[in-house]
Amino acid sequence: MNYPPIEVSGDIRPLQWLAAVALTWLLSTSNRAVRDRATKALVNLLSPSLKVAAALLEKFNQVDDPYISERLLAACYGAMMQGLDRTGCMAVASALWASYFAEKRTPPVHLAARDYLLGSLLYARAVGQLSREVDIEVAKAKFASPWPLERVIDEDLEAYRKKGYGDAICSSTEKHGDFGNYTLRAWLHDTMCLPRSLAGQTTRQLYERWQSDFEAKATAAQLHAYTDLLRASLNYRQRPEHGWLSEKGKAESARLWKALAQANTVLKEQLPPEMLVDYSDFAERHLLEATRMDDDDRRPAEFGHATVRRWICARAHTIGWNEELFEEFDEGPHISRERIGNHRVERIGKKYQHIALAEVTARLTDNLVVCSYDDDGKLHAFEYGPGGRDMKNDLDPSLLVRSKQESGWASTPQTWWTPSSPQLPYGDTEWLLSWVKVESNLCNGPEEIEVMSPDCGPWLVVDCSRRWEVPGQSRRNHAQAWSQITCLVTRLGAGPELARDLLSQQRTDVSRLSGERELGTFLGEHGWRDENELRLSKSTSLGIFTPYADIVEFLTAEGNTRDNSVEESFTLHLPSAAAIKLLDLHLHSGRRPEYVDRAGVIRWQDPSLSTRGAGAGVVSRDYFLRRLSEAGLEPVWVLAGEKNVYGGQGLSAGNGFGGRLHHTTVLTIVNGHLKPFGQKTDLLQPSKV
């Protein structure tokens, strides 16, 4: 299913409607390639005329297959985010409200479906197309579900072991099954065993509250036992810091932990049933874990995975899967049994498992808190959106790119945005050794950054990684070179200060300059649903004392993995959310992830989308410099890389090292012109060749 651009206007056309209905029914399949491509094709079909999306929502409102309803919601959200029919967003938002939130209606108990639902309403609000009857806070309040989970014990699963062993669902959802282990762990991580009503508090506060209540009602004997337990905890914490490195230290740690466990047992023996339950629910584990890690801000225990595994197994059977109907298909030769692979055609049982998983995770997050290791024990209510999708979403419905023309690890060809390449020597070893020492032919001048497009438009390269080698030389002593272009921004007038800081050391590891640059949102959410304030900050550990900020983020799509509509893996070089706001840009579309200004003029692009070459972010020169200046900012470029000589990798050759020249060049804007500010080089001597 290819999805070329479609132009639609006026009322819904019969062929368009029939195509939309047919694509929607394809969303039910367990063939991931068909389902994913049908989803994207539906996004493309709906995006120019969102009234069709609203009509589809009404037609499929009562469908009883969550695989269809989830992906239909995804397609509607993706179509809205294309930005081709913004006024039509109101019709979609109204249809969603009427179908899922109005009066006594309730949204599906399905984590992904709710995410797309809420995202659609938020997008309509962001573009000023939210109808009056829609109340987003009321919609959020309806994300509720029964609690606790229905109890399922091992004996309940015996009905699914008619052959003396578990059926396909049992095998997959058990502790050592791929689904029951890897998939479940990814979806449940950070979901804690404490009620959502405790959100906003910390584990330290909860423990101190328990301790205060305990001390107020405990008997003298119970207080004495608790004091002994605290003393044992302190003794364990005060053991030698690195004692575990020696046998003596290990033995002492074991002795102290045993004493702690004994003191804990004594306390529990002193407690009546009600107080014992109160202690065991939270305080006991927190005290022991805080002692073990010498950290009073430890997060609580995750909700029991075994409980969820059993529930999913039972639920998948309850909603319709059984061996009589599906075993022949699920055991067929077309089903991939590899742990790692694209799994284009999955078991029908896998579909039922995913439906049950999305339901149970919605119920867990409705009723329990979440807490990551980075939260220092702070408990949170689950939030739908980018932060709540971590390791859960399977495709980005707004991304319609299937592949790029980026050269990747191949030698970077000369293009209009990478206009030059170094002359690499080959053959004579002495020539190679001489070449690596020469501080020239580094491709590090202003002409690498100030480039001209085929239509004679002036552009600036703000991010690009380039790599060069001589083909067919890997088994001989050979030369190789690479460099990275990175643009940073600082306050107006501080460019020379930042440039001096940058030249204090080599900057070949540009990731240290930029921090986290991987996009955390869907492509169509970028710029309105993520942090978009530009924050200048120092990096004193890197010798940079002048505040600066990076302006590029990356979206990486992997081919034939979670999203089977992506043919080959690629990376998009995008303006950061802060840069989008600063430059007043918006996404052109998910098919053409370029960024345009209010007049629709392209101001940011990745040329490798359509032309073979290095992946890059390039920005319209004059527009970029003007917008920065108006915001009281100026750009500084770092062009850093290496020249290397390596020994041959033939059958008998070693892996000798012939030397490396590190180079860092910093360029600034002087009177409207890009000029080199300075250069730093360091030579690493060869070992052998």
Question: pLDDT tens, 6-52?
Answer: 444 456 789 999 999 999 999 999 999 999 999 999 999 999 999 99
Q: How confident is the model at residue 688 (pLDDT cuts 50, 70, 90)?
A: low
In the chain, domain spans: 14-141, 154-198+303-383, 203-293, 429-684
Q: How confident is the model at residue 687 (pLDDT cuts 50, 70, 90)?
A: confident
Residue range 122-127: average pLDDT? 97
> Mapping DSSP to helix (H, G, I), strand (E, B) and coil, where does residue 619 land?
strand
The whole-number pLDDT of residue 655 equals 66
pLDDT of 650 above 90: no
pLDDT of 276 above 80: yes
- Bridge partners of 277, per DSSP, are none
pLDDT of 227 above 90: yes
SS3 content of the chain, % helix, strand, coil (to 5): 45, 20, 40
- Return d(Cα 357, Cα 188) in angstroms, integer: 10
Residue range 477-502: average pLDDT? 96
Residue range 236-265: average pLDDT? 89
- Return d(Cα 267, Cα 278) in angstroms, integer: 13
The whole-number pLDDT of residue 652 equals 47
The encoded tokens of residue 273 equal: 């049933």
Q: How confident is the model at residue 651 (pLDDT cuts 50, 70, 90)?
A: very low
3-class DSSP string for 17-67: HHHHHHHHHHCCCCEHHHHHHHHHHHHHHHCCCHHHHHHHHHHCCCCCCHH
- Return d(Cα 467, Cα 358) in angstroms, integer: 43
Q: How many residues does the chain have?
A: 689
**pTM (two decimals):** 0.92
The whole-number pLDDT of residue 249 equals 86
Q: How confident is the model at residue 164 (pLDDT cuts 50, 70, 90)?
A: low
- Return d(Cα 689, Cα 683) in angstroms, integer: 16
Residue 411 burial (10 A CB sphere; 0-12, 13-18, 19+)? middle
Residue pointed to by tokens 């009234």: 51
Helices 14-26 and 50-59 sit at what angle, rounded to 10 degrees? 50
pLDDT of 460 above 50: yes
pLDDT of 149 above 90: yes
- Return d(Cα 613, Cα 629) in angstroms, integer: 31
CA distances from 480 to 11, 286, 421 (A): 59, 54, 12
Check: CB of residue 8 under 8 Å from CB of residue 53: no
Q: What are the tens digits of pLDDT across the range 56-78?
A: 999 999 999 999 999 999 999 99
The whole-number pLDDT of residue 243 equals 67
412 Rama class: left (phi>0) / alpha (psi -120 to 50) / beta: beta
Q: What are the tens digits of pLDDT across the range 404-439?
A: 998 888 899 999 999 999 999 988 889 999 999 999
- The amino acid sitting at 62 is Q
- Return d(Cα 400, Cα 375) in angstroms, integer: 35
* Ranges 130-139, 284-293, 297-306, 340-349: which has the least confidence: 340-349
Check: CB of residue 618 under 8 Å from CB of residue 451: yes
Of all residues in the chain, the percent with pLDDT exceeding 90 is 80
Instruction: Find which of 74-83, 336-345, 393-402 is predicted with most confidence, using mean pLDDT.
Output: 74-83
The encoded tokens of residue 505 equal: 């050391």
Check: CB of residue 477 under 8 Å from CB of residue 648: yes
Q: How confident is the model at residue 341 (pLDDT cuts 50, 70, 90)?
A: low
